[in-house]
Chains A and B, each alone.
Chain A
Amino acid sequence: MIPDLGKYAAEVLSAYAVSLLLLLGLVWVSVRAARRACATLEAVERQKAARDG
């Protein structure tokens, strides 16, 4: 399935592996931070609503 990369296989595969890892890591960190921010804001808004009655 993988094309014949010849003598440059290590360079090409490492470029793809590291790049995909960086991109997936960036997406994962961003989504996780977004979920945490939503949860934090909801908690603070609930707290404020409870305090204000």
Chain B
Amino acid sequence: MTDDELDQRVRASILAEELDTARLEHSIRERIRRPRVARWALATAASIALVIAGGLAYRAFFQPTPLICVAAARDHNYEIVNGAPREWLSDPAAILSLVAQQGVPSTAIAALATIGYRLEGGRLCSLNKQIFLHLTYSKDDLELSVYLRPGGPQSPVDRAVHEASVGTEDLAYFQTDRLTAVFVAEHSPAEALAFARAADRVL
């Protein structure tokens, strides 16, 4: 058998195979019609989604304690728990005057007094380079600090009362459009939270 004869036989054998090209052509036309999304666009979208999901997860599980709370906890520990020598105003009228000077609504002080906490003293202090009105309250044997500053956040207000813990100090804090308020008590997360919630209702 010559090469040509062999080629012809092989060719005839292979060409006799059945082929379903109609179905294949249909599939190809379908794939060509389908809009093609660039791989880079998919990768970019996936990366953005990953970053957003990561950010949300971080906020949900590892919400950092605001720096102002860290500073308030240290201040309470230093001045109240350890009794650092400081000049405190104890006269209610003098405290109210100081409150008025700082632009904190005096009704806030009166409202706090109505929910079972006794105002003990007041002075100005600096937390994270911001001037706060530091008020101390007592309830039974417990001493609590309340740090107030007029003005809320620039961004839309989240009225929820948040909790935090820094060292031995337990904190609760909230912000309104008029006021930033931080409540600190040592080893008393329930008291700090209860005081903050009560204050949130009346402020």
Are A and B interaction partners? no
Interface residues of A (CB under 8 A from B): none
Interface residues of B (CB under 8 A from A): none
